[in-house]
Structures are given as C-alpha cells and as structure tokens.
Structure 1
Amino acid sequence: MMNKNKEQVLCIDRKTLPASWVTQRTVLPMDFATFADTCTKAKFSFVRRGIAEEDKLKKQIIPYILLQTADGGMTAAYSRQGSEKRLHDLWSIGIGGHINPEDTAMGADGFESILKNGMQRELDEELTRRVSGDSIEFIGIISEDITPVGSVHMGAVFLIRTQNPEGYLPGDELHSFTWHTTQKLSQLNLELWSELALELVNSLNPAL
C-alpha cells in the first residue's frame, strides 16, 4: 500500500464546484457527462494526501462502487478495517479509494479517463474475482461536511448490478464481505457515506 504521506490524490477546490454539490449533506442523482464536464471546468490537481486530508477547502474525488443483485434486493457490504482508522468498525457498501497520478497512464489525462481508470484499478485491487460482463453505471454524487472524513472527500457513486453475486470474491481489505437484504442494511452500523449512497440508489428505484 502506498505511503500516505507520499501519496498524491486528485482534488478539486471546493469554491470551483457548484454550491449544490458541497452542502452539509449532498445526495445528487446525475449523469456521468454532467459530472465529468463540471469537474473538468472546475479544474483538478494532485495534492499530497497528508495535506489534502487536512484541507477543507478541497474535495478529494473518490469512486464509490456499490454491488447489488440485478433486482436490487441484495447489496454487498463489508466491515471497515483498512488504512482509514476513522472509519474502523463501521460497515460500508462502497468499494473505492483515492485517484492517483498513475491513473493518468496510457496517455489519457482528461478527468473522465482518469476517474474511470481509477475506478477500475480500485475494483481490481479490492476484488480477487469479479464478473467481467457486468456493466458499471454512474448514478450520481454524495458529499457531507458532518464527519472529519466526509468534509474533505466527495463520492462519485457507481453501481454494478449482477446476475451472478457469487462471481465476486473479496480481497483482504474487504473484511466480512457478505450480501445483505438491501431493505435491512439500515440495521448495520453503516458509515455515513453508505447511508447517503443507499439514499441515492433508492431514489432511482423507489419501489425497493
């Protein structure tokens, strides 16, 4: 794992983002073109993570990927035990992490390409096996200024719906990875971002 003090992460200045994106509690359905275009115009940079984690004038952009069964009835969740100690012992339904300069590889340095590269890299790092044919849909953004972690991050939420949940095997970072009934996820001690992401996905499927 990369040294947290040396790692560089993708950030956008809060003041260049739409005010509706950086409220105290933001849950916004959105298409990917709108998100990518707005972030491109807002301009991004790579900042040393140790600095970015303390700078509330910036938002670090994090791909946050949800796994659900095709009917939305089951959602994968895991217990937080990774490098972010402020989230330990909470349950999460989002797989993801920081976007790094390495995600500009292959000569593509536009925001859309960087985010998609980073999202795919995170899936490859966190899952030892996944179903290659499943589509990955961008569904919107989440952000909050309630917790110390949330105040310096913004989630770009992606959703994978699968007919083959057993085709997904977790890596070492996804502790206690299990599939849960989506309607009963609130019984878990969820991190706030997972609560926001659930609200986002449920807004697209109000019947669930």
Structure 2
Amino acid sequence: MSKKQEQVLCIDRKTLPASWVTQRTVLSMDFPTFAATCTKAKCSFVRRGIAEEDRQKKQIIPYILLQTADGGMTAAYNRQGNEKRLHDLWSIGIGGHINPEDSAIGTDSFESILKKGMQRELDEELARRVAGDPIEFIGIISEDITPVGSVHMGAVFLIRTQDPEGYLPGDELRSFTWHATQKLSQLNLELWSELSLELINSLNPTL
C-alpha cells in the first residue's frame, strides 16, 4: 500500500479544544484527560493522501522521547525517513501514524488504539529496547507554523532509562546518539522537538 493510500487516525480540528490547536501549542496534561477529550471529539481513520492536505484534520501521532533517568541525556537522530519535508533535521521523537491495525477488533477505545500504536512504533524503530522501562504520557504539542505541523498533533510520551545502552536503533534512526539535554538546542532540531523540550522543561524547570 502506498503512503497516500494508508489509513491514519485523525480528529476534526473543530471538535478539539481551541487551546489544543493554537499556532504554537505546548500543553502538559495527564493521559486520562487527553484520552477522554479525544474520545469525546471522535476520531476516525482517513486516507493519508486526503488527511495530509486537509488542515481541518489533525492526525494523531505518538511522539516518544528517550532520556536517561536523571534527564541529563536525551537520544536524538537525523531525519531520513518517509517524510521528506523533515529531512536533515534532528529529532528527539520516535513515532508515526496510528493505523487500523492498531485497532484489531475495530471496537477498541481511543486509549487502547493510541497505546497499541505507540508500542508498535517503538518495536518498528528500535532494534532493541529495555522492556521494563516505564513509559509516561506528559502532554501534547501542535503547531500551525509548518506544513507538516498544521495537519498533525503530537501525543508526547517520555521513557526515562537507567540503561541507555539497552536501546539499539533500527535502520530508520540515522545517527542515533545520546546528547546532553541542555545542549540539544545546538542541533538543527525539527520544530516538534523544540516544542517537546519546552514541554519537558515546564515539568522539570531545573534541568
């Protein structure tokens, strides 16, 4: 199946809270609040070729960050995947679209679909990861500044690990390396990564 034919999880912008879809959105929140709001707003699977051109829809993307347990180091990689508009930018987020396969029985809740999609993305992008590390939802990011951002919303998850060497990147994560969190701004970061750092800093202002 071509990328344009792929079915992706979307929510109509008009059914989401206005504070979620501003020009530059960085909001910390708990997962039950996020899931309940998205469930009320109602989501559907839309052909990606259509969704990518429709600013009235927000494609929901799990965006997973990897940090050391003390928050001092963050994993980053150079973008070389399917999204050519992001090529040669650095990213600290692992993730991708939610597809119908993440809702195997067709009646799964939004919470279940998102978590399945998030786990699938981790399995696809990482050749090895530490199974016992907790995955924490920390909030959402969204922006209408770039063509990519205007049709996507990021559900940001954070993995804090005591064993960074336990994470081995797959082929898509080019130049995957651990960087001092405070020096990430020296990289040519994609905007979503900048927003995610802002989100983390709002939770941990001393880092």
**Class of the TM-score when normalised by the shorter of the 2 chains:** over 0.9
In structure 2, the CA distance between the partners of 1:44 and 1:80, relative to structure 1 (3 Å rule), is same
Aligned partners of 2:2, 2:135: CA distance in 1, in Å?
Answer: 29
Q: What corresponds to 2:201 in structure 1?
A: 202
> Mapping of 1:35-114 within 5 angstroms?
35-105=34-104, 109-114=108-113
How many pairs align? 207
1:99 aligned counterpart, secondary structure: coil
In 2, are the aligned partners of 1:134 and 1:161 still within 8 Å (CA)?
Answer: yes
Aligned partners of 1:205, 1:77: CA distance in 2, in Å?
Answer: 19
Aligned partners of 1:189, 1:5: CA distance in 2, in Å?
Answer: 28
The amino acid of 2:176's aligned partner reads F
In structure 2, the CA distance between the partners of 1:117 and 1:186, relative to structure 1 (3 Å rule), is same
1:50 aligned counterpart, secondary structure: helix
CA deviation profile, 1:64-106 (whole Å, cap 9, x unmatched) = 0000000000000000000000000000000000000000025
2:121 aligned counterpart, secondary structure: helix
Q: Structure 1: which 4+ aligned runs deviate by more than 4 Å? A: none
Aligned partners of 1:205, 1:182: CA distance in 2, in Å?
Answer: 12
Structure 2 unpaired stretches of 5+ = none
> Mapping of 1:115-126 within 5 angstroms?
115-126=114-125
RMSD: 0.8
Aligned partners of 1:108, 1:6: CA distance in 2, in Å?
Answer: 22
Q: CA deviation at 1:107?
A: 5.9
Aligned partners of 1:162, 1:108: CA distance in 2, in Å?
Answer: 33
Aligned partners of 1:8, 1:200: CA distance in 2, in Å?
Answer: 29
Aligned partners of 1:200, 1:24: CA distance in 2, in Å?
Answer: 16
Aligned partners of 2:183, 2:166: CA distance in 1, in Å?
Answer: 23
In 2, are the aligned partners of 1:97 and 1:122 still within 8 Å (CA)?
Answer: yes
The amino acid of 2:156's aligned partner reads V
106-115 vs 179-188, greater mean Cα deviation: 106-115
In 2, are the aligned partners of 1:63 and 1:119 still within 8 Å (CA)?
Answer: yes
CA deviation profile, 1:123-182 (whole Å, cap 9, x unmatched) = 000000000000000000000000000000000000000000000000000000000000
